[in-house]
Amino acid sequence: MEGPDPQVQRLRSMKKPGYVRLINLGQSPAELMLDGTSRSTVDVGGYSAMVIAGSGSRKVEVKTGATSPFAETIDVPSDGGISILLNGKKATVISDEPRQASGGKAILRVLNASATATVAKVETGGTVLAESLAPTTGSKPYEVAPGSLPISVEGKSTTVDVEADEAYTLVVGVPEPFLMKNSPNRRPAGSTSPMAGG
């Protein structure tokens, strides 16, 4: 009997790539650059899909016209997700974005995109997803059942739809919270629109 195919073994041993996304809450359209190459242009109030960034040190730049409010070398983890949050003229790295769920569940994380205000409480069905969430920080990820989730953001109710085996980030601390799907290179229709409901 022959051993495993060497090409299959090589592919299995390779590091999985990491991913980067831009959330543009700035004042003008912004461009996400990775190692000097344009990967996405994002309108004000929108966000890019997760784009493959490889793993290890990567030069990440956000350009708004002739200026670059963010230009740093960051460590992109293998199979991890990072968001660059452009808020006004300041950019913040948001690490540990959940990328994929399994076992028929969904994963939901809350991100406070406000540059100055703490978000008091975000919950679903009695489960507190975030409490006293500081500006430009994310909560830990939570497993949730797929389907329509009732969400309360500081007492304001709405509903979001999540799918099995997918990961999401709920952006709060903005006038209209919105839900981002974290799977790479995929974005549901209307993903830059405010959440439905409420």
Taking all residues of the chain, what is their mean pLDDT, rounded to a whole number?
86
In angstroms, the CA 110 to CA 132 distance is 12
Pick the last residue of a domain from 40, 68, 97: 97
Same domain, 111 and 55: no
Same domain, 103 and 165: yes
Report pLDDT digits (tens) over 27-36. Answer: 999 999 999 9
pTM of the model: 0.84
Same domain, 27 and 93: yes
In angstroms, the CA 140 to CA 19 distance is 18
Task: Please report, rounded to a whole number, the percentage of residues in the chain having pLDDT higher than 70.
Answer: 87
120 lies in which domain range?
98-198
Number of domains composing the chain: 2
DSSP helix/strand/coil, 176: coil
Tokens standing for residue 29 = 């359209």
Same domain, 34 and 70: yes
